[in-house]
Amino acid sequence: MGEELLEMVSRIVILKEKMNLLLEESKKSEKEFGALLFGRIEGNKAIVHLIKLLRYSERSTTHFIADPIFLMESFSEAEKMGLELVGIFHSHPAPPKPSASDLRYMELNPVVWLIVDNTNLTVGAYVLEKGGLRQVGIEVIKNFS
């Protein structure tokens, strides 16, 4: 996603069943959990249409490295569906705020970053812009009308 498009985004829209899956997986994972969120930007909304739960080549409670084959396969699947990466979801055993290393990766991956505190399932969504960190809304919907 281009930085110009990201600056327009004020909320991320995700189906309830998909958000519930992300929360359940975060809750039951002892190690850090992550997922890629593919979709489309429509006006001020990042709309999630496809989620891919990460496969890992390295993983601990506070850190992971995604499997590169998984990344290639996911991006190619999304591209065939006409979708782009609009968000990255991952868990923290702590309040849902970007860590110092998250901020570095947010700079490299300018999409909406969703972080869940897996001790209480509070979720925060953020984008990093030239002006700094900005919180965006999360809209959980039952279905696409």
Q: Which residues bind Zn ion (CB under 5 A)?
A: 99, 102
As given in the structure block, the two tokens for residue 39 are 């979709």
Q: Which is nearer to Zn ion, 99 or 122 (CB)?
A: 99
Q: Which residue is nearest to Zn ion (CB)?
A: 102
Give the nearest distance from C-beta 5 to Zn ion in angstroms: 23
Give the nearest distance from C-beta 92 to Zn ion in angstroms: 5
* 118-126, Cβ contacts within 8 angstroms, sequence gap of 24 or more: 118/26, 118/27, 118/29, 118/33, 118/91, 118/92, 118/93, 119/93, 119/94, 121/23, 121/26, 121/27, 122/95, 122/96, 123/19, 123/23, 123/96, 124/96, 124/97, 125/11, 125/12, 125/87, 126/98
Give the nearest distance from C-beta 101 to Zn ion in angstroms: 7
Q: Which is nearer to Zn ion, 83 or 116 (CB)?
A: 116
Q: Which is nearer to Zn ion, 25 or 102 (CB)?
A: 102
Q: Which is nearer to Zn ion, 61 or 99 (CB)?
A: 99
Q: Which is nearer to Zn ion, 84 or 117 (CB)?
A: 117
Tokens 């990460």 sit on residue: 54
Give the nearest distance from C-beta 105 to Zn ion in angstroms: 8
- Identify whether the C-beta of residue 55 lies closer than 8 Å to the C-beta of residue 27: no
Give the nearest distance from C-beta 100 to Zn ion in angstroms: 9
